[in-house]
Chain A
Amino acid sequence: MDNEAYTFALKNALNEIRNVCPDITNTFMFREDGEIIVGDENTSQKTMVHVVDAFDGIFEKADVIGGVECITIEGSNGKVNVSWLNDLYFVTVASRKADMNYVNTVTRVLIPTVLRLLEKICPTPLKSNLPLTKTKRQPKIPMVKELEKPEPVAEPVEETVMEEPKETVEAETKHEPLLSEPPVNQFIVESLGGLLVPSDTVRIDSEILSQWEELYEGRKIEEVEIGTFDGKTMRCKVKTIKDSKYELKGIMQIPEKIQLALEIRKGELVRAKPIVE
């Protein structure tokens, strides 16, 4: 049984779940690395990619809470549930009226059964039949390596949003190695003052600077872009915190001039990402 048959079987199972529970509006499955496996006929590829992208930040920090087992979003008109089933994340979107106990009973019995059955019939590793579904949550390694791997051949898909012509990308990589997307960290603002303090430099933990530099293969990070939750951004120089009492607390020491420009105060949260040129 090839991947296409796997996908077909799973897609049918998802459609059947919707038939059994009409209050379910969308279902689909994705792997831990963000690769989408299959969705029901009601859920477009674009929607699935959008959902996985939306959970990106949570999955990136999942280790802190011991890995994500379940996510529930409860709205006034409906709810979204993401459950960890047989090494896959299973997403269900249901209306407000849906009896979630019933929905969960059906999905938690049906999906593992189908997966086990498929595994028994032919123990092929479950892979997406649609290579275009890979989202941005990819391992942060130079993209050149990624491109060297042969991509699985697949039927053309309508939503070809992310696929670039391979040759063009390869040509670009010859000129300059591509850098991974800059990580964004959050910090608590702490004031930085003193006579000899430069007004254009912020200070953060040496550990975070080292992590960033490691990510960019040892390049020295000298500048960061700070963003506030009101949408203001500013680029400034960065150095490590000198005062040990502020170390390892997720603090960014910011001179008053920058605080005024960004309209932030001590105790507030800001986002920052390294600038590598």
Chain B
Amino acid sequence: MVKKKRDFQEVAAAAEPVSVEETISVNNLRANLDEIKTYDGVVGYILRNSTSAAIELKDPTKIIDYAIISSSALDAGEELSKLFDLGAVKDIVVEGKGVKVLSLIIGENRISIFLEKDADCEKILRKLH
């Protein structure tokens, strides 16, 4: 069993070499998001790329709903960008009566930050860009 496991890990490593820079940038992003999470009015975030996903939410019962909104917002952004020739999507903001969602794509990372309605999006965007 041990041998089999090791073989698999080696194959995975050979098939998908992870660049050091990429790892560092994801780690930086994660660190920034963890800091953003402490800002006033931030409810949580979802970070996803092709190899991993991280979800930090104050209310874990809403994970699925928030994940769907996050994914739908980013998909809608890409879709409408193609349809209306909007160019690269900088950010997408979905405002509800209680919560707003700020979504953006940095590299291959798809990020959504959930905030209380009056929280400051600009401060977050400055931090992430």
Interface residues of A (CB under 8 A from B): 25-26, 47, 50-51, 54-58, 60-62, 64-80, 93, 96, 185-188, 229-230, 248-250, 260, 265, 267-269
Minimum CB–CB distance from A208 to chain B (whole Å) comes to: 8
User: Which B residues lie within 8 Å of A249 (CB)?
Assistant: 60-61, 63
Instruction: Tell me the bound Cα distance from A60 to B69 in angstroms.
Output: 9
User: Which A residues lie within 8 Å of B64 (CB)?
Assistant: 185-187, 250
A25 in contact with B84 (CB, 8 Å):
yes
B31 within 8 A of A: no
B53 in contact with A73 (CB, 8 Å):
no
Least CB separation from A74: chain B residue: B90
A69 in contact with B96 (CB, 8 Å):
yes
For the complex, would chain A's binding face be called helix, strand, loop or mixed by DSSP majority? Answer: mixed
> Known: A58-B76, A72-B92, A72-B93. Contact between A267 and B69, CB under 8 A?
no
13 A-B pairs within 8 Å (CB atoms) are namely A54-B83, A57-B71, A57-B76, A58-B69, A60-B68, A64-B96, A65-B96, A70-B93, A71-B93, A73-B80, A74-B89, A74-B92, A269-B48
Least CB separation from A77: chain B residue: B87
Instruction: Tell me the bound Cα distance from A229 to B109 in angstroms.
Output: 13
User: Which A residues lie within 8 Å of B73 (CB)?
Assistant: 58, 71
B75 in contact with A57 (CB, 8 Å):
yes
What does the 1/0 interface line of B75-102 toward A look like (CB < 8 Å)? 1110111011111111111111111110
A75 in contact with B86 (CB, 8 Å):
yes
Instruction: Tell me the bound Cα distance from A174 to B69 in angstroms.
Output: 37
Least CB separation from B96: chain A residue: A65
A61 in contact with B53 (CB, 8 Å):
no
Interface residues of B (CB under 8 A from A): 8, 48, 50-55, 60-69, 71-73, 75-77, 79-81, 83-101
Minimum CB–CB distance from B7 to chain A (whole Å) comes to: 12
Apart from A80-B84, A230-B50: 15 A-B pairs, beta carbons within 8 A: A54-B83, A58-B73, A60-B68, A64-B62, A65-B99, A68-B96, A72-B93, A73-B77, A74-B93, A75-B87, A186-B71, A188-B63, A248-B61, A267-B52, A268-B51
Instruction: Tell me the bound Cα distance from A73 to B84 in angstroms.
Output: 11
User: Which A residues lie within 8 Å of B60 (CB)?
Assistant: 249-250
Minimum CB–CB distance from A103 to chain B (whole Å) comes to: 15
Least CB separation from A205: chain B residue: B64
Instruction: Report, nearest first, the 6 A-B pairs whose CB atoms are least far apart.
Output: A57-B72, A75-B86, A65-B96, A66-B97, A76-B87, A77-B87
A47 in contact with B83 (CB, 8 Å):
yes
Instruction: Tell me the bound Cα distance from A187 to B55 in angstroms.
Output: 11
Instruction: Tell me the bound Cα distance from A262 to B89 in angstroms.
Output: 29
Minimum CB–CB distance from B25 to chain A (whole Å) comes to: 19
User: Which B residues lie within 8 Å of A25 (CB)?
Assistant: 84
B83 in contact with A50 (CB, 8 Å):
yes
**Which interface residue of A65, A79, A80 has the most chain B CB atoms within 10 A?**
A65
Instruction: Tell me the bound Cα distance from A94 to B116 in angstroms.
Output: 27
User: Which A residues lie within 8 Å of B83 (CB)?
Assistant: 47, 50-51, 54
> Known: A57-B68, A187-B64, A267-B53. Contact between A65 and B94, CB under 8 A?
yes
Least CB separation from B50: chain A residue: A230
Instruction: Tell me the bound Cα distance from A161 to B113 in angstroms.
Output: 37
B85 in contact with A78 (CB, 8 Å):
yes
> Known: A61-B68, A229-B48. Contact between A73 and B95, CB under 8 A?
no
B84 in contact with A186 (CB, 8 Å):
no
B89 in contact with A64 (CB, 8 Å):
no
**Which interface residue of A50, A54, A185 has the most chain B CB atoms within 10 A?**
A54
A58 in contact with B94 (CB, 8 Å):
yes
Minimum CB–CB distance from B114 to chain A (whole Å) comes to: 8
B92 in contact with A73 (CB, 8 Å):
yes
Instruction: Tell me the bound Cα distance from A64 to B80 in angstroms.
Output: 23
